[in-house]
Amino acid sequence: MSPGGPAGGLRRALPPRARRPDRGRAGRWGRGLSAAPVALRFAQRRLHHGARLRHRTVRGARARWPARADAAVTCAVSYELDWATPPGWADAVARQPLALLSDHAHCELKAAASAMTLIKRSSDRPGLALRLMPLVREETEHLQRVLRELDARGAGLGEDLPSPYARGLLSAARRGGPPDVVFLDSLLVSALIELRSHERMAALADCEALASLAPLYRSLCEAEARHGSLFLQLARESTDERCVAARWDELAALEGRLIAGLPFAPRMHSGPPP
């Protein structure tokens, strides 16, 4: 799910470097989810067409895979959010469910548009469209589900408000230089947004004040995790894994600072409650 525009703390287990100290990262897949979402268990469900991802261990808003088969050195890399949403966020946004649902619907709409834009701008990359089109369809289905929830409550889509979260992330993505660099940043920004959305939806699914929406958020948060995994896999296939890890480190740290400093609002990617 994207809050707007085309997409793109790392903790690494890359020997011999030691893991850096914890900085308040997201701790679990989400309240009420004791393990990785079923949709991320490769043995039970493939991510998307052509994906070769195999899930090993997932803790917090992160995903870990073995190195690519063609890698010279086998190493495990985990990608995660750099800042954990405070526990009170879900209860705070639940006070204005219509505003939250409206913002969520716009996020799903823009996520589908962002993936289609990425396909168009990277039309020379074999297989990319085939792997992203299932995501486009799924984001559109998510939009329909959220619109039904709004309609059931007598509300429409509502105004599309500017997103300081999206603006901040997109401004950090490299727009000039080699195409591979631009492509990598687009993928990593998209992955960050999907993983943040997963973390937020997991919190909403466990919010008592939103009990009627719990089935929606629980099912959608699994999809967000899969989408994030797909973007990360595409990034890992596009260049050397160490380059991906280093850039993720930079962007995830920026994303954490960005969302932690945003004002609170009944939106999917707002800052912490007062």
Domain spans in the chain, listed from the N-terminal domain onward: 87-261
What does the pLDDT read at residue 147?
98
- 267 close to 1: Cβ distance less than 8 angstroms: no
In the block, tokens 């595409």 appear at 234
What does the pLDDT read at residue 57?
27
What does the pLDDT read at residue 13?
35
What does the pLDDT read at residue 251?
96
**6 contacts: CB under 8 Å, gap ≥ 6:** 114, 117, 118, 121, 170, 186
Select from 237, 248, 247, 246 the least CA-distant residue to 71.
237
Consecutive 10-residue averages of pLDDT for the chain (274 residues): 49 37 42 37 32 31 35 52 96 98 98 97 95 98 98 97 95 88 96 97 97 96 94 96 95 98 98 96
Q: Give CATH superfamily name and number for 87-261.
A: Ferritin, core subunit, four-helix bundle (1.20.1260.10)
Select from 71, 126, 108, 56 the least CA-distant residue to 227.
108
pTM (two decimals): 0.75
